[in-house]
Amino acid sequence: MSVSPVTVRPVPIGSGLARGNRRWLGGLAAAAFALTAACQDAPPMAPEDAPQAALVPGHAQDRLPAWFAQSSPVVLALGGTVFADHDEANGRLVFGVENAAAIPGVRAALTGLGVPASAYAIEVTAPIHNMLTLRDRWRPTRAGIQIHFGQYLCTLGFNVDQGGSRSFITNSHCTGKQGGTEGTKYYQPTSTVDGTVIATEAADPQYFRGGACPKGKKCRYSDSSRALYSSSVASDRGIIAKTGGANSGSLNVTGAFTITTQDNATDHFASGTVVNKVGRTTGWTQGPTGATCANVNVSGTNITQLCQTLVTSSAVLVGGGDSGSGVFRITSGDNVQLVGILWGGSADGKTFVFSPLKNIQAELGSVTATN
């Protein structure tokens, strides 16, 4: 089966979504990136120590600012504390702790500072963490995070073991030259943030002509390559970064998917099979499979990818830089089955194309991707 060419947005170097004159999902100029860590306040749970109405008599309200200035650094130096707040609306001080076991220590510290019990409340609340994104530095590395090569960015597809060596799989077009092994160097998240070479391209078969390949085209059955990890760089096999909800656009990592199985046998997926990917540009997205084992022309090139699967949804599923994302089925909770690797998509981002894992292993050799 053949389908119309997949159109992939070309974006000028500097805006970050194309690779020279090759129209790939995955290219991005290697400009310096400002990496941010955002934290969000968790809603407080029920107070453990005092009622929520104004606690301090009117004549003592003017002392709250001084009590807060004295108590905040002392309390936050204690283990298990989360926050200190001067709650002007309710006329009190509020201290957050991770669990009830921390309350006596906070109370003793406040008593020692002369802060009356009527002037404060102590609440058990969730700890506040820095929120890493898919574009931040990760050690150990995991699937779904940003990688950098040359002047471009892609996504780390999935970590594998092959013949006792640690590697990761990404796209063939996320190398210095698509098809053929030239020793492309990879960084994470970018070489400007961390100059460590995390891995080096080790396998990227040449594209072939003739046979099932259309006249005038060159073909493969997977857009995939393998990079061998540097011995000093730790990696988590079988772990995919999980962001805050499918098709939400979030890049904040809130947990992890675990690859418990891998589909080594399927290249014809049942229509409507829901699959997922996590990529550095659009995060976690999911949609149903449509055309399966389709032969796909890559827009703006003479390349045809044979026996590929298309995934289409009304939501935006893919954007430039998502190239290389591992594709998986959720089997139970956060346990997943790896089924392939994403390499392209439509101009509106509502269709992505992936190479089945069966095809990847036929070209790169058998790999173990499970946890």
pLDDT of residue 71: 95
Q: Does residue 133 register a pLDDT over 90?
A: yes
Tokens matching residue 82: 């989360």
pLDDT of residue 59: 52
Q: Does residue 81 register a pLDDT over 80?
A: yes
CATH number of the domain that 112 lies in?
3.30.300
Q: Does residue 57 register a pLDDT over 90?
A: no
pLDDT of residue 67: 95
pLDDT of residue 15: 32
Same domain, 261 and 209: yes
Q: Quick check: 328 and 341 in contact, CB under 8 A?
A: no
Same domain, 247 and 141: yes
Residue 347 main-chain phi, psi, to 5 deg? -60, -35
pLDDT of residue 89: 86
- Tell me which residue range forms the domain holding 351: 2-34+132-364
Beta carbons within 10 angstroms of residue 195's beta carbon: 8
Q: Does residue 36 register a pLDDT over 50?
A: no
Kindly state whether residue 141 falls inside one of the protein's structural domains.
yes
Q: Quick check: 325 and 155 in contact, CB under 8 A?
A: yes
User: What digits encode the pLDDT tens for the residues 204-258?
Assistant: 999 999 999 999 999 999 999 999 999 999 999 999 999 999 999 999 999 999 9
User: What digits encode the pLDDT tens for the residues 257-301?
Assistant: 999 999 999 999 999 999 999 999 999 999 999 999 999 999 989
> Identity (one letter) of the amino acid at 51?
P
Q: State pTM to two decimals.
A: 0.73
pLDDT of residue 146: 98
**Top-confidence residue, 199 or 21:** 199
Beta carbons within 10 angstroms of residue 323's beta carbon: 34
Same domain, 63 and 30: no
CA-to-CA distance for 310 and 295, rounded, in angstroms?
10
What is the count of structural domains for the chain? Answer: 2
Q: Does residue 131 register a pLDDT over 90?
A: no
- Mean pLDDT calculated for residue range 13-24: 34
Same domain, 16 and 162: yes
Kindly state whether residue 42 falls inside one of the protein's structural domains.
no
CATH number of the domain that 235 lies in?
2.40.10.120
Kindly state whether residue 177 falls inside one of the protein's structural domains.
yes
- Using alpha carbons, list the distances in angstroms from residue 282 to 12, 218, 278, 315, 334: 19, 30, 8, 11, 19
User: What digits encode the pLDDT tens for the residues 153-208?
Assistant: 999 999 999 999 999 999 999 999 999 999 999 999 999 999 999 999 999 999 99
Kindly state whether residue 270 falls inside one of the protein's structural domains.
yes
What DSSP assignment string belongs to 25-78? TT-----------B--PPPP--BSSS-SS--S-GGGGGGHHHHHHHHHHHHHTS
Mean residue pLDDT across the chain? 86
Same domain, 74 and 166: no
Q: Does residue 9 register a pLDDT over 50?
A: no
> Identity (one letter) of the amino acid at 306?
L
Q: Quick check: 218 and 207 in contact, CB under 8 A?
A: yes
Tokens matching residue 290: 């449509």
